Amino acid sequence: MAPLSLFSLFPCFFLLLSPAISTNSEGNALHALRRRLSDPTNVLQSWDPTLVNPCTWFHVTCDSNNHVIRLDLGNSNMSGTLGPELSQLQHLQYLELYKNDIRGKIPKELGNLKDLVSLDMYGNRFEGEIPKSFAKLKSLRFLRLNNNKLTGSIPRELTTLSNLKIFDVSNNDLCGTIPVDGPFAMFSIQSFENNKRLNGPELKGLVPYDFGC
Ligand SMILES: *[C@@H]1O[C@H](CO)[C@@H](O)[C@H](O)[C@H]1NC(C)=O
């Protein structure tokens, strides 16, 4: 009898551990984000990784299936960088990170957020190029990357984003010419201003030769 009752304790042991283990992949992704960020005013204080999902955390919104659909961290006094794990938020529609002090490259993996409607990263210190992978964001309507330190040219691939309504890359360090096809036919020059090395609109009919600016 004694050995048997010892074995019967094992399930209890694993049950005690389970709150940490059962945190879902979306919670893990958000917690990985938190580890990369410095949060001096404790905006992320409610992000308790032992909860079964992140749906009760402040600044996180879920749908009725407990999938994260919004992340609202604009104006949150945060610095640090972003990582590829954000792409595990497979149902995310709104990624709001504007007006912080986040630096480094924009992860190309954000192009895998296929439901994304709004990507607001303006007013940070992002550098490097605008990922070509953003051309996969077929639901995207709002893309605001203005007031950062982005370099390189505007990826021509973005002209295939037929739902794009608002596009702003002003106040960066982009170069090359401005696309004119697809949604880019509608955007005003204000969306592009204050990029010292960005030339005027690409000339229709001429194959642009300065992609690699
Ligand atoms: C950001 O910092 C300022 C100054 O410390 C503070 O007043 C403000 O509440 C902070 N914002 C947030 C979202 O915590």
Structure confidence by residue, pLDDT tens digits, 57-99: 999 999 999 999 999 999 999 999 999 999 999 999 999 999 9
Helix (H) or strand (E) holding 29: helix 25-36
Domain boundaries, the chain: 21-203
Mutation test residue for ligand 1: of 77, 79, 97, 100, the one with most atoms within 8 Å of CB:
77
**So what CATH class is 21-203?**
alpha beta
Tracing tokens 């972003």 back to the chain, one arrives at 82
Comparing 51 with 145, the larger pLDDT belongs to 145
How many residues in the chain? 213
Ligand 1: centre distance to CA 38 (Å): 13
Tokens of 70: 């919004």
CA distance 118 to 62: 16
pTM of the model: 0.86
What pLDDT, on the 0 to 100 scale, is given for residue 65?
Answer: 95
Structure confidence by residue, pLDDT tens digits, 135-157: 999 999 999 999 999 999 999 99
CB 165 within 8 A of CB 188: no
What is the average pLDDT across 119-130? 98
